[in-house]
Amino acid sequence: GMGGIGKTALAKVIFNHEVIKENFDRFIWVCVSDPFVINKILRAILETLNPNSGGLESKEALLQEIQKLLHDKNYFLVLDDVW
């Protein structure tokens, strides 16, 4: 939707809602910028899940570590500012 109509504000309300907090194990909020760079997004997701996870560069390594951290978890992921 158009910028400025409250999509991010609504997403924040939902993201922080008590019912959501009770039903998910992990919470990830990533701001997707222009230009869209998949490794940057994956790195942001990984850093949210494990701030000490530096050093991984390849898409495959990032995906593998994210999958390991989210295995058998219910997670709530918001990709904000997607254009």
Determine the pLDDT at residue 22: 98
The overall pTM is greater than 0.95: no
State the amino acid at position 14 in one-letter form. Answer: I
Decide if 57 contacts 43 (C-beta within 8 A). no
Distance separating alpha carbons of residues 82 and 31, to the nearest angstrom = 8
Determine the pLDDT at residue 20: 96
Distance separating alpha carbons of residues 59 and 20, to the nearest angstrom = 29
- Average pLDDT, rounded, for the chain: 93
Condensed to tens digits (0 to 9), the pLDDT of residues 19-45 reads 999 999 999 999 998 888 999 999 999
Distance separating alpha carbons of residues 11 and 61, to the nearest angstrom = 29
Provide the token pair at 49: 């899940």
